[in-house]
Amino acid sequence: MGRNNFQIKLTQNNIIHNFNYIKKYTQKEIIAVVKANAYGHGLKEVVSILSSHGCNYFAVARESEAMEILSLNIPEIKILIFETVNDFSILKKYNNLEMVVNSFYELKELINAKVDFSQLHLKFDFGFARNGFSTDEINLVKETIIKNNLYFKGAMTHFFSSNIDESKKIQNYFLKSIEYIGKDYFSIIHSENSATTLLNIIDGSTHVRCGISILGMLDPGIIDENIKRSWSLSGPIYDIKDFSNLDFIGYERIENINTSNFSKVGKIKIGYGDGFSKRNTDILCHIRNKEYPIVHISMDTSFILIDDLVEIGDNVEIYQNFEKCNAFLKMDHYEYTTLLNSRIPRIIVK
Ligand X SMILES: *Cc1c(COP(=O)(O)O)cnc(C)c1O
Q: Which residues bind ligand X (CB under 6 A)?
A: 33, 35, 82, 158, 193-195, 209-213
Nearer to ligand X, 209 or 346 (CB): 209
Q: Give the span between the Cα atoms of 334 and 39, in whole angstroms.
A: 6
Nearer to ligand X, 41 or 346 (CB): 41
CA dihedral (116, 120, 126, 130) positive or negative: negative
Q: Give the span between the Cα atoms of 117 and 35, in whole angstroms.
A: 23
Q: Give the span between the Cα atoms of 178 and 83, in whole angstroms.
A: 21
Q: Of all residues in this chain, which one has the CB nearest to ligand X in the complex?
A: 211
Nearer to ligand X, 43 or 237 (CB): 43
**Angle (CA) 248 249 255, round 5°:** 60
Q: How far is the CB of 217 from ligand X (least distance, A)?
A: 8
Q: How far is the CB of 185 from ligand X (least distance, A)?
A: 20
Backbone angles phi, psi at 247, to 5 degrees: -105, -30
Q: Give the span between the Cα atoms of 285 and 260, in whole angstroms.
A: 17
For residue 287, list its beta bridge partners: 290, 316
Q: How far is the CB of 245 from ligand X (least distance, A)?
A: 48
SS3 186: strand
Nearer to ligand X, 198 or 257 (CB): 198
Q: How far is the CB of 312 from ligand X (least distance, A)?
A: 39
Cα–Cα nearest to 272, from 346, 198, 344, 200:
344
SS3 120: strand
Nearer to ligand X, 212 or 268 (CB): 212
Q: Give the span between the Cα atoms of 332 and 328, in whole angstroms.
A: 10
Q: How far is the CB of 2 from ligand X (least distance, A)?
A: 32
Nearer to ligand X, 100 or 304 (CB): 100
Q: Give the span between the Cα atoms of 183 and 117, in whole angstroms.
A: 15
Q: Which helix (H) or strand (E) holds 279?
A: none
Nearer to ligand X, 196 or 234 (CB): 196
Q: Give the span between the Cα atoms of 44 and 68, in whole angstroms.
A: 8
Nearer to ligand X, 213 or 280 (CB): 213
Q: How far is the CB of 195 from ligand X (least distance, A)?
A: 6
Q: How far is the CB of 201 from ligand X (least distance, A)?
A: 14
- Tell me if 101 sits within 8 A of 121, measured CB to CB: yes
